[in-house]
Structure 1
Amino acid sequence: MNLAFRIAAIILTMLFSLAYITTRTIAPEYDFKHTTVGVNSDVEVVFDDMAVPHIYADSEPDAMYALGYVHAMERLWQMDLLRRAGAGELSALFGRDMIENDKYLRTLGMRETAIRTVETLESTASPEVLDAMKAYLEGVNAFIATKELPFEYRLINAKPEPFTLRDVYCATGYMAYSFAIHLKTEPILDWMKTALDSSYMADLAWGQAGFSHIPTDDTLRDISGLASRVHALDELRLVPQWLGSNAWVLSGDRTASGEVIFCNDAHMAYASPSVWYEAHIVTPELEYYGNHIGGLPFPAIGHSRDHAWGITMFVNDEIDFYRETIEGDRYLHGGEWLPLEISNEVIEVAGDDPVEFQVRKTHHGPLLEKDLAMWWTFNHYPQNRIHEAFYGFSRGSGIESFAASAELVHAPGINVMYGDSKGDIGWWASAKLPIRPDHVDTKVAIDGTNPANDPLGWHGFDMNPQLVNPKRGFVYSANNAPQPSDSVRYPGHYYAGNTRAAGIFEALSQPKNDWTVADAQSIQLDHHSPVYRQNAEALVAYANAAGVEVEGFMLGWDGGHLVEDLAPTLYYRWMYRTIQGAMYDEFAGAAPEGSAQEKFESWHRTIVSENSFPQLLANPKSPWWDDVRTDEVEDAAMIVAAALEVARTDLKEALGADPSKWYYGRLHTVVHRHAMTDAPLVGDFLNVGPYAVPAAKDALNKYEFKLEEAVNYDVFSGPSMRIGIDFADVDAAESILPTGQSGNVFSPFYDNQADLYHAGKFRKQRMDRADIEAYEIARAYFRSEDSKE
């Protein structure tokens, strides 16, 4: 045996020994007894075959204590990142690399709003809500104080601080921020409207013309860099981003069972662990099965035996940007110079000295740039009652009480979906909608010096879109525009295109009254995009008009996205190169030197760009088609044909010269990446995947990816779960998570659902005690110190 081999064998033996010891000490302990003053009577927790805790307690606070404990046992690292992101405190874990991100997050004001909210909780929240929140946090902190910390803390030699009510609202703030696609959209739209001729903007699906706007002026600062900052933070994938969702509810008149069917798949950025932690709570007065976000005590999505609720993004306009006139520490408003509000902030940095900086604010909000203030519903509405809403969702006693809970949501805006065992179904667009002056265009930066441009107040909840028990027998939401859209109240440029919404509506509008959960699940897994099919037909027609022959697999493509399909592989590269061929020259001519590609990529990653492509294809006379860098006047056919050649070159370099082997699944893959994905040695160990999946960039089975210079379709978001419930048999409710229930890499439940999920399969959400015990893997007990053995 040579020396190198002997050394390798010794190292391998040491690694296996270390792995065994580590697994034994850090892996979650499902079979335990915990004696505490945190519960007034004993609590029993039965873990089923998916490690879902079924918590049986004599009181709600005792159940919430146990929930907090087991939630931390499985997801403490995730919970810590989420609260730190909302507070701008990531540098305390990760060091200097996070300082600029923390400055940005702290400036947004989520931490300040959380502190202000907690100061008023005793007088605004009901005692039941407050007691439940406190009990949950006591459970979280009991785990931190008494158990081994997750593996990640050992890697960075850190320990989490105890959780407080402030942390709950910081986590909520980050959730609200992740909804706010305005930060990615408005800065680049503002630059485009300022830099480009109005004829170009008229051909984009970005909303009405005719609003007031600051006139084009060379002295106006370019604010499009804000979008790049947001994208850079997204790329870190430290915490989940909300990026869409589907949901629908069918009345009993439309189902085979005669009872309501409820479905929801919320779309979020993929990560490991995945977003949701499932738990089943049972007390003498209460029972529900909930999907919980890390560090939040009440489920955002869930069901009881009597009702179910879910959410999608409302994508209402919650953010406005105001250009301020700044002079020193004051700003101009209404002809008067007013003092800026200045706060001195301190960022703690792991392994280094603290960093001090200032947050400067006008009455509109914090200055994200020297002269650009951000007005945000989340910070401006006087009461933050979203956790009272979530509390009410899980404890609803009928559609009227549920609607009252939906009214409490101020931000982020959510579409709340509802169905119950009585046969009622409903949908409410829940948010506090600001009353804005009719002349104000909120899609671009507004003149902050004029008081006439400021918000005027808040609409009542009766003005929000909502629908209860419609005659058609279903309600649905897929981030589509409410009616009327494209107005001051519902600006149309944020809403998703009609691909998913139309797919749901058309399917449920069929003359079919025998729907089952299995039928509904087939909709959730539908990978066809009629919009992409129509786009492809237009691309082929333009290429043919230019005398260019197109690959046969593109002809008659049905918009499907199976992993063995060829058409979507070419379609996406062709679409990207067509948009680039049509638009990049205008960006290059208007952008400062060296910034055109960054601005083009920022634009191309907006929902406005996605929605505008069909409109561009439908207008062969659009000014975008002409390449302004040449003397020749190009038309749509010339640009599309040239784009096809570039797309072919891209795919030959990436997949080989034979188009018959350009299988979609070779490029379209998903890896559920851990926050430490880039860490040496452990990154791949912590990640889950890759998986090739039959899904589209925008279809009901939506797996989102970036189109960019690099030739890959690496998925970054998709359904964070898929729920289907028939109230004829609530015990047969089904769902699936993308990875697993546990966030601990040494748990067998870290990734045990990944194969099922990516194969389009489901598993039960058990509520029947006998069924739970038939699949029991462990049992835990929380003992009151007053109890007897």
Structure 2
Amino acid sequence: MRKLLGIVLVVIVLVFIGGYLFVINSGTNYEFNITSSDVSSEVRVVFDDMAIPHIYADNETDAMFALGYVHASERLWQMDLIRRAGGGELSEIFGKDMIENDKYLRTLGMKESAEKSALEFGKRGYGEVRDAAEAYLSGVNSFIEEGDFPIEYTLLGVSPQKFILEDLYKTAGFMGYSFAMAFKNEPIIDWMKNNFDSTYMADISVTLSNNTTIPVNGGVGLPTSEDAVSISDMVMKLDARLPVPQFIGSNSWVISGEKTKSGRVVFANDAHMAFASPSVWYEAHIITPELEYYGNHLAGMPFPPIGHTLGHSWGITMFVNDDIDMYKEKIEGDKYFHDGKWLDLDISDQIIKVKDSDDLILTIKKTHHGPIIKDNISMWWAYTKYPDNLLNEAFYGFSRAHDIEGARRSASMIHAPGLNIMYGDSSGNIAWWASAKLPIRGDSVDSKIFIDGTKSSNDVQGWYDFSKNPQIVNPERGFVFSANNSPEEVDGVHYPGYYYSGNTRASSIKDALSKDKSDWTIQDVHKLQLRNYSPVYDKNSRMLVEYILKNESEDLDPNNFEDLYKSSFDLIKDWRGTHEIGEIAPTIYYRWMYATLKLALSDDMGEEKFKSFTPTFVCENTFPMLLENANSPWWDDINTEKSDDASEIVSRAFKAAIDELRDSLGDNQNLWIYSDLHRVTHKHAMGDVKIIGNFFNVGPFKVPSAKDALNKLEFRLNDEVNFEVFSGPSMRIAIDFSDVENSESVIPTGQSGNVFSEYYANQAEMYHGGSFRKQRMNESDIMNHAIGISTIKPEK
């Protein structure tokens, strides 16, 4: 027995030692020394205390090679996933589970567009951009050639393929897709317009042209919008299964020196994305004799969408302009009817490779508008329709710009996805450009609903010149801001988009910066970025409370409430919209909000359509509009003989919400803590796989705040008593041009995508605790905080 125990002990020790050695050897190497025929002189890479590389090179192409190499060493798995998502090629590594996602993503045309853009890249007079991009890809492929792949490939039993120019555009295509909100919103909006009259639609928050005539039925050969609602359901279902994060909002503001303590420009940006592990951004600092910038890079993209030099900074938010039109086509066989003629559908077959299975042949049909995405619905998308994809040239230009005019030129190159480009510089300039190629639509066209595809007058007629895009340079008020809010009209034209609810975050920024305050600092910016309050919650809760106080029904009178209802009502009555750790009132508010929406809308819409409606931006934007109209027809429950009013529905919803909370969490109200339900886990692509999921995931963390607060942490309202956060700030940047070398930021998990690296999740506590760290640019500071120095030398 003693001998057996000894053997078991030895085995355990050997396993432990083996595991320890595996972990040690699997970590990222921050002190490598390699040679390559792709560099012309020695490159030195210094990794600081956050594992951020500071790349010192004699020329740009050598620096870009090094960037590609170190980027791949930390994020190869992430880079591979995003390019595969953009190309509809996930099944090749995940197998049959991703076939439906691939079919959908491939149908949208991103792969085909990437192939075309790669062929044209560099032929438009931007040869230096292509040279830099190819050097970056050479660095990525150099790392792949070494064969030291992340553990994810071992677990799946696959190997990464080398990267080519086409992959840059697949990644850009997925970025464009993640910005597009029409897929989720237009089908349900169209259905509602066809099923409810103007008295109902007056309280639905979506801008629709007054002169648009919508037929009640689809017409001969056209599908009814009832059929097409499934597009929204399909997209949301498939998006939920995608193993890569998407963009979902953003905040940014730039303050002129007249309003800052230092007298210099202060810049802030926090782009909102779905939380994931690893984090979205990879930071890198490039230094050559002619060039220096600190950039936030997307996986597989050589040029940073967000970054700064010692002289200027640039950032992004989602423009959320409507760059997709959906058309109802009249189709018979392989032909479609347009402008009085029957035309041939463009039909092509594409191969989808599936791991451990036979290849799949996907047949894609298109009209001149674009691909048929379901039944008779085709999709026109600015990303694939605009003739020139200059996204790489634009991002390249921002980091190489010498003045505000150079930055404006770069902003004008972006066609899609629509971005708000935020800008500040050491000369005191501040600017905001809404960057996208905006389509010119006919006066009778409403792009928020399905359009009759048989009429040529409904086709996109051209593109506005960039000078017509919304933009502001050096405004008198001393600041610019963007939070996915609706821009002002330009020459009487308001560009349609999916702008956020009442511009609440934008209003919070504007109100704060409009105050008589002229001593703004980075610390003040951080406080604003971390604000967990929004006036919309305060206003909504007050309206809900007022409805209950007005109720004349005895059983719904708060004075007659039993203890749990009464204590809950007292809590929410005094609540002013804060969302701090430990609060209970927000828990009551959100379940009351959902119960109110469900009681008001689901009887008219039906349960299934209500479920399709609630995840859309339109639903949450609709809530305050509904509360403000006590006479809305939505308030009457069509399932009862009597006429219901808003007060009765809101009061019934309150009691239903409290009953639900009691059933789910118990009758001890002290356990209804918002932050216990409002948690975030930074999920890995394999995060849902039993046994290994928690090994890759980071979290969970109890968090404050909510969607409409500046510290935007978003969850979905549904039948579950759960506020699981799925998106939020992907970084929080603050720069004061009086001290650019000590600008600050933080990301949600860590710089490394290697689960064995100590830098995989080392910023998570910092991020969720509201702390920040330096974006180092001073060489002596970098060297004082170096964790490793590496070299890349030319082959002799």
Work out whether residues 486 and 492 of structure 1, in 8 Å CA contact, stay in contact via their aligned partners in 2. Answer: no
* Structure 2: gaps (5+ residues): 552-556, 559-565
Matches within 5 A, 1:154-233: 154-217=154-217, 220-221=224-225, 222-233=227-238
Quick check: 773-782 or 557-566, which moved more? 557-566
1:335–1:11 distance in 2 versus 1, CA, 3 Å: farther
Q: Which residue number in structure 1 is paired with residue 245 of structure 2?
A: 240
Q: Which residue number in structure 2 is paired with residue 389 of structure 1?
A: 394
* Structure 1: gaps (5+ residues): 589-595
CA RMSD of aligned residues (A): 1.8
2:574 to 556, 563, 575: 556
Work out whether residues 205 and 493 of structure 1, in 8 Å CA contact, stay in contact via their aligned partners in 2. Answer: no
Work out whether residues 349 and 363 of structure 2, in 8 Å CA contact, stay in contact via their aligned partners in 1. Answer: yes
Q: Which residue number in structure 1 is paired with residue 620 of structure 2?
A: 610
1:775–1:613 distance in 2 versus 1, CA, 3 Å: same
Structure 1 position 631, deviation (Å)? 1.1
Q: Does 1:72 align with 2:72?
A: yes
Q: Aligned partners of 2:86 and 2:681: how far apart in 1?
A: 25
Work out whether residues 517 and 724 of structure 1, in 8 Å CA contact, stay in contact via their aligned partners in 2. Answer: yes
Matches within 5 A, 1:24-423: 24-217=24-217, 220-221=224-225, 222-423=227-428
Q: Aligned partners of 1:773 and 1:634: how far apart in 2?
A: 71
Q: Aligned partners of 2:691 and 2:671: how far apart in 1?
A: 33
Q: Which residue number in structure 1 is paired with residue 686 of structure 2?
A: 676
Q: Which residue number in structure 2 is paired with residue 693 of structure 1?
A: 703
- Match for 1:156: what amino acid? L
For each residue in 1:689-736, what CA deviation from the matched residue of structure 2 results, as whole angstroms up to 9, or x when unmatched? 011112112110000000111110000000000000001001110000
SS state of the match for residue 357, structure 1?
A: strand
1:553–1:53 distance in 2 versus 1, CA, 3 Å: same
Q: Does 1:713 align with 2:723?
A: yes
Q: Aligned partners of 2:737 and 2:441: how far apart in 1?
A: 42
For each residue in 1:583-615, what CA deviation from the matched residue of structure 2 results, as whole angstroms up to 9, or x when unmatched? 011122xxxxxxx33x31221111111111110
1:291–1:137 distance in 2 versus 1, CA, 3 Å: same
Matches within 5 A, 1:489-504: 489-491=494-496, 493-504=498-509
SS state of the match for residue 86, structure 1?
A: helix
Quick check: 268-277 or 493-502, which moved more? 493-502
Structure 1 position 557, deviation (Å)? 1.6
- Match for 2:616: what amino acid? T
Q: Aligned partners of 1:11 and 1:380: how far apart in 2?
A: 62
- Match for 1:766: what amino acid? R
Work out whether residues 181 and 494 of structure 1, in 8 Å CA contact, stay in contact via their aligned partners in 2. Answer: no
1:362–1:8 distance in 2 versus 1, CA, 3 Å: farther
1:318–1:209 distance in 2 versus 1, CA, 3 Å: closer
Q: Does 1:447 align with 2:461?
A: no
Quick check: 507-516 or 630-639, which moved more? 630-639
Q: Aligned partners of 2:87 and 2:373: how far apart in 1?
A: 16
Q: Aligned partners of 1:252 and 1:6: how far apart in 2?
A: 72
1:727–1:296 distance in 2 versus 1, CA, 3 Å: same
- Match for 1:574: what amino acid? W
- Match for 1:160: what amino acid? P
Work out whether residues 268 and 719 of structure 1, in 8 Å CA contact, stay in contact via their aligned partners in 2. Answer: yes
- Match for 1:86: what amino acid? G
1:341–1:7 distance in 2 versus 1, CA, 3 Å: farther
Q: Aligned partners of 1:229 and 1:54: how far apart in 2?
A: 44
Structure 1 position 214, deviation (Å)? 4.0
Q: Aligned partners of 2:14 and 2:335: how far apart in 1?
A: 63
Work out whether residues 431 and 474 of structure 2, in 8 Å CA contact, stay in contact via their aligned partners in 1. Answer: yes
What is the TM-score normalised by the length of structure 2? 0.95
Structure 1 position 217, deviation (Å)? 1.5
Q: Aligned partners of 2:637 and 2:326: how far apart in 1?
A: 32
Q: Which residue number in structure 2 is paired with residue 533 of structure 1?
A: 538
Q: Which residue number in structure 2 is paired with residue 592 of structure 1?
A: none
Q: Aligned partners of 1:126 and 1:493: how far apart in 2?
A: 33
Q: Aligned partners of 2:157 and 2:396: how far apart in 1?
A: 36
Work out whether residues 442 and 461 of structure 2, in 8 Å CA contact, stay in contact via their aligned partners in 1. Answer: yes
Matches within 5 A, 1:737-776: 737-776=747-786
2:523 to 518, 524, 544: 518
Number of equivalenced pairs: 778
Structure 1 position 496, deviation (Å)? 4.2
2:592 to 558, 563, 574: 574
Q: Aligned partners of 2:97 and 2:696: how far apart in 1?
A: 21
- Match for 2:100: what amino acid? E
Q: Aligned partners of 1:478 and 1:292: how far apart in 2?
A: 21
Work out whether residues 529 and 560 of structure 1, in 8 Å CA contact, stay in contact via their aligned partners in 2. Answer: yes
Structure 1 position 7, deviation (Å)? 10
Quick check: 548-557 or 177-186, which moved more? 548-557
Work out whether residues 277 and 292 of structure 1, in 8 Å CA contact, stay in contact via their aligned partners in 2. Answer: yes
Q: Which residue number in structure 2 is paired with residue 591 of structure 1?
A: none
Q: Aligned partners of 1:459 and 1:250: how far apart in 2?
A: 29
Q: Which residue number in structure 1 is paired with residue 660 of structure 2?
A: 650
For each residue in 1:338-383, what CA deviation from the matched residue of structure 2 results, as whole angstroms up to 9, or x when unmatched? 0000110110000110000201000000000120000000011000
Quick check: 2-11 or 382-391, which moved more? 2-11
For each residue in 1:225-273, what CA deviation from the matched residue of structure 2 results, as whole angstroms up to 9, or x when unmatched? 1111221222225111100000000111110001000000000000000
2:605 to 587, 606, 624: 587
Q: Aligned partners of 1:256 and 1:48: how far apart in 2?
A: 29
- Match for 1:776: what amino acid? A
Quick check: 652-661 or 757-766, which moved more? 652-661
SS state of the match for residue 266, structure 1?
A: strand
Structure 1 position 47, deviation (Å)? 0.3
Matches within 5 A, 1:11-26: 13=13, 16-26=16-26
Q: Aligned partners of 1:401 and 1:156: how far apart in 2?
A: 45
Q: Which residue number in structure 2 is paired with residue 628 of structure 1?
A: 638
Structure 1 position 6, deviation (Å)? 9.3
Structure 1 position 8, deviation (Å)? 8.8
Structure 1 position 210, deviation (Å)? 2.1
Q: Aligned partners of 1:36 and 1:191: how far apart in 2?
A: 59
1:647–1:392 distance in 2 versus 1, CA, 3 Å: same
Structure 1 position 25, deviation (Å)? 3.3
Work out whether residues 64 and 136 of structure 1, in 8 Å CA contact, stay in contact via their aligned partners in 2. Answer: yes
- Match for 1:699: what amino acid? A
SS state of the match for residue 122, structure 1?
A: coil
SS state of the match for residue 244, structure 1?
A: strand
1:96–1:14 distance in 2 versus 1, CA, 3 Å: farther
